[in-house]
Structure 1
């Protein structure tokens, strides 16, 4: 590979490579074998279509052969605790899964992530089967024994089950006064009841404000939940005792949290679900393999580049990178497209290598990444990552690629 230019920090290790990814990956293997912590690729889906910047109509066996020659090279680049994400739709997903089982080992398969990408457009949708609105990300470890998973969390909406509040949490639990959350908040606002508050403020605004109040007071907002007979003996005994006892009963069980029971039902407090996400305290749930919270519409101008039918949201790449790497780790994408993976990795303080054969490396990736370095790209995850610019990258070309 030949160095074409360096942009920004002259000591940068980030690499933008223009050319066929097969010889590029072979060349990288000499210096980076076992050093890449995260690989994300979004190869052509082989949909049978032709797009502005790339062909997505390759004969099935040719597509399989291309993947079969590249996946072993990618595996060799992964660190022992590294992870690869392959984003694909249902045209080739089943074949790809079998191939990756062979390359990475079935034991190293981690998950199939289902990503909601679109919604049907009313009655104009014409399809001989149910409308397809999902894509898939196959997730494999280099070596599952070395891979460490740290639970990720995503914000949730209002949870109407948390509808109680302890009005006097500062007192001993035996004197706690448990009230309706909405009623308590209405009275704090100076209204006699919930109906009056909704009439004065509007139903939706009152409910939204009540939930915001609940989050701020999560340590004393709770729900009352039935206790199964399969719960521990001590908890079941406390349940029975509380049915005929006034007020709240407690079971201390260090080092675990205390159990509080009222009227035969256990009190679960909202603060157990509060997490800090993007510098805000929010109610959250553990991340699952169904991703419906990342919008694909409205991303056309992310990075100030248009890449129709091929661009992925920066938020999607941020999630994949953050769940598999730490700052300073290396990220690789050998189907770079419009440059999203490199842009997000840069904003997250990761080192990166991006490879793209098309001319859009020059027309899309290069100017996009220059703006990231300059701190003038205000789109995507710039705000939530507090990115202000810095760093740099080197541009290379493989033999036979244009300068």
Structure 2
């Protein structure tokens, strides 16, 4: 069944996807420390900035992030369309003594939210990429923000999401070859991979959030260049991002003032050279000539299209192209100038592309036992997750008012 909105998908599953069931101050404090690390060190938004700020959070789910903002001194307005979450939010704020910080809890999604108030911060994490085009929600955020106000989003980045799509495609093929249920197939394929890193959610939750989620598809993934360009055109400047969207090795006099257009141009140039880094989930910066960068981008884009098609048609016409394109990307990357922390990072992406090439080749041979043998034992496959989730903070230009 096609889903209209992401929250409809979770409503049908009858669960709250991020509910952590915090009971003690210690549990909340541990979570808040992780958020502080993200916001202070990576997004350049120290908790002090939230003191007495008017914060609007879209899609808070059960409210863990909202609790942290409230703990930093923010006054929270929450817009959560899934009414199943409201009791959890209210219970959380009551249990942790933050009821006075909960200004409003609205049963609304982004497009349906209406208010004459202006906010210092608008936060929308984990779902905003499903509202398209991006200009739709950027315009709404712009209207709701005070001048110099911040919008914080997390989203699936197109190039960083390649391996996420590949995992879905392998899972789709596995279900067809094994004729087993989704969960059983996923465990046969990915339990070793899942157990290789710590998690705060269950394997079953990952199955629902990624492998079975109809919104984890290429048509919803956002290209960072296109998103930043759209935000620029609608009156925003890039404040920060993780991974960084600024060229952090750029050097010029501190009193030199760059125009908004020039700032965007430099960020776009940096992002275009970062696409292999996003795909691999590690520093693999393309430092060669522009045509080499373009070749890598074109290869990745073609792979994204073909792998996404395999999710619906695991043995279709795109399978041979995926197999050959993985080999071509591997060979092209080997011949391209790449700036990495050390040679091991370059070797790792080559090994990963080799591994996925073998897995999709085994799928082409309709050999499920060979597929599972590879996914259970190949270190390059097990250790690679890519960089699908990006955080972006944009600031409403003061002069727009």
TM-score where L is the length of structure 1:
0.19
TM-score where L is the length of structure 2:
0.20
Higher helix share: 2
Return the index of the structure with the highest Cα Rg. Answer: 1
Higher relative contact order (CA 8 A, sep 6+): 1
Higher strand share: 1
